């Protein structure tokens, strides 16, 4: 007879389902001070268990988007790539040979695009995909650039009903076809812009240096911890936008050496900076996933196994971040708390969190990302 555990919300017996047990097992071996060799050893010892776990995670995207759309608050979509280097002799998809400017040689690397929704300070990674270089494609596959993958992901999410109030991304995504798509769908955006790009004004099309060439220095507002700031209304990709330029120092101001932000929302300097600052929350997500949850602990080069491992990492991240909000500890402190508490205590505390997103879990059938993108829910 199987043992049952009591839910702390009532006396009704709590059935521990495989997905939940898999997350607890995963978190129990995910520590910052465990080396790759030790993690690999632990995974081999539990080979059969982890082989079953990896096939239990897939997300019903329609249900996921419905849950996110129903959340109160402004919904900001952030797009960004994360690079995960691997010291492996065998190169296979989805790994690519990426040039490392530090070691000055090509190294195998995963390039993963994440789409994350920010709502009231919480992070919801709802989709990820791999960029695969042209020489790694299989027969019949169509090559997509990194920005084409980003546009395809955004287009698919919007077509499935995702409601986005604004979009944030770095200069690497600042391409005409992605901007034109956002303008066509009337999705406001704020992004880093190249200072070498030309913007249309009443007098013609000029770079920021020429646009602000005749502006007197006293017309630049000094914004603390940022620098000397000024803005103008320009036309970019057929839509009126706000071009904000920043000179980090007085010397750069005199030389008109700017870095730029461009936004389609009518906001003040501070509002545009605060909005763009939210983009860095995805960097915190990457740090926690890589340092604490095991996103870098891959022991395979197969795309389906890597995808399932990322799914498991996402669910582990969900449990830790939700619990950290409840107990008022940092992400790392919460992870250490999980790894030092008894199993029964963890099941009582974590099961209500797991139960909230359990309905969106489906039994998966793996499909390569160029056929069907794998989409994930982070937390709610």
- Three-class secondary structure assignment of 11-76: CCEECCCHHHHHHHHHHHCCCCCCCHHHHHHHHHHCHHHHHHHCCCCCECHHHHHHHHHCCCCCEE
CA Rg value for the chain:
23
pLDDT at site 342: 76
In terms of Cα–Cα distance, which of 289, 199, 282 is closest to 238?
A: 199
pLDDT per residue over 48-86, tens digit each? 444 444 444 555 566 667 777 887 888 999 999 998 887
pLDDT at site 80: 93
pLDDT at site 379: 33
Instruction: Name the average pLDDT for the chain.
Output: 77
- Cα distances from 91 to residues 76, 86, 95, 228, 307, in angstroms, run 36, 10, 6, 47, 17
pLDDT at site 364: 36
pLDDT at site 61: 62
Residue by residue, pLDDT tens for the chain (380 residues) are: 333 333 333 334 445 556 676 677 777 766 443 334 344 444 455 544 444 444 445 555 666 677 778 878 889 999 999 988 876 666 777 888 888 787 788 888 889 999 888 888 788 888 888 998 888 887 888 888 999 999 999 998 888 888 899 999 998 898 889 999 999 999 999 999 888 889 998 888 999 999 999 899 999 999 888 899 999 999 998 899 999 999 989 999 999 999 899 999 888 888 898 899 999 999 999 998 888 888 877 767 778 778 777 877 777 787 788 788 888 888 888 888 887 877 777 777 777 777 666 554 443 333 333 333 333 333 33
Pairing of strands 166-169, 122-130: unpaired
- DSSP state at residue 296: T
In terms of Cα–Cα distance, which of 25, 65, 16 is closest to 312?
A: 25
Greatest alpha-carbon pair distance for the chain in Å reads 82
pLDDT per residue over 324-378, tens digit each? 888 888 888 888 888 787 777 777 777 777 766 655 444 333 333 333 333 333 3
List of residues 6+ apart from 169 with CB closer than 8 A: 78, 79, 80, 150, 189, 191, 192, 279
Phi and psi angles of residue 222, each rounded to the nearest 5 degrees, phi first? -90, 115
pLDDT at site 212: 93
Asked if 375 and 126 touch (Cβ cutoff 8 Å), the reply is yes
Q: Which helix (H) or strand (E) holds 82?
A: strand 75-85
Asked if 71 and 119 touch (Cβ cutoff 8 Å), the reply is yes
Burial of 101 (0-12, 13-18, 19+ CB in 10 A): exposed
How many Cα neighbours within 13 Å face the side chain of 89? 0
pLDDT at site 333: 87
Q: What is the pTM of this model?
A: 0.78
Structure tokens at 31: 């520590």
Q: Where are the alpha helices (DSSP H) in 212-302?
A: 250-255, 269-277, 281-288
pLDDT at site 380: 33
CA gap 271, 265 in Å, rounded: 10
Q: Where are the alpha helices (DSSP H) in 171-302?
A: 176-184, 208-211, 250-255, 269-277, 281-288
């Amino acid at each position: 007879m199987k043992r049952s555990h009591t839910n702390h919300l009532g006396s009704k017996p709590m059935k521990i389902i495989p997905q939940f047990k898999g997350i607890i097992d995963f978190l129990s071996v995910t520590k910052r001070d465990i080396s790759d060799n030790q993690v690999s050893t632990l995974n081999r010892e539990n080979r059969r268990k982890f082989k079953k776990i990896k096939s239990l995670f897939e997300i019903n995207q329609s249900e996921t988007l419905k849950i996110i759309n129903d959340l109160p608050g402004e919904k900001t979509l952030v797009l960004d790539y994360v690079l995960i280097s691997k010291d492996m002799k065998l190169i296979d998809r989805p790994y690519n040979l990426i040039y490392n400017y530090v070691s000055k040689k090509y190294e195998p690397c995963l390039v993963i695009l994440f789409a994350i929704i920010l709502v009231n300070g919480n992070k919801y990674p709802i989709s990820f995909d791999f960029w695969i270089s042209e020489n790694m494609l299989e027969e019949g596959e169509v090559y997509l650039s990194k920005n084409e993958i980003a546009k395809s992901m955004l287009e698919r999410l919007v077509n499935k009903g995702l409601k986005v109030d604004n979009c944030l991304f770095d200069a690497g995504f600042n391409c005409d076809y992605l901007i034109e798509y956002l303008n066509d769908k009337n999705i406001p955006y704020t992004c880093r812009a190249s200072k070498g790009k030309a913007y249309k004004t009443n007098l013609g099309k000029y770079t920021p240096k020429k646009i602000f060439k005749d502006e007197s220095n006293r017309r630049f507002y000094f914004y603390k911890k940022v620098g000397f700031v000024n803005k103008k209304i320009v036309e970019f990709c057929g839509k009126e936008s706000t071009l904000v330029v920043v000179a980090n120092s007085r010397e750069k101001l005199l030389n008109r050496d700017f870095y730029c932000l461009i936004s389609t929302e009518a906001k003040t300097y501070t509002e545009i900076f605060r909005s763009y600052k939210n983009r860095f929350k995805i960097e915190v997500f990457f740090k926690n996933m890589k340092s604490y949850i095991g996103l870098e602990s891959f022991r395979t080069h197969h795309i389906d196994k890597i995808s399932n491992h990322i799914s498991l990492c996402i669910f582990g991240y969900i449990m830790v971040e939700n619990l950290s909000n409840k107990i008022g500890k940092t992400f790392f402190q919460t992870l250490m708390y999980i790894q030092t508490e008894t199993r029964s205590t963890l099941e009582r505390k974590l099961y209500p969190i797991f139960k909230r997103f359990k309905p969106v879990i489906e039994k998966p059938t793996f499909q390569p990302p160029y056929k069907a993108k794998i989409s994930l829910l982070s937390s709610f």
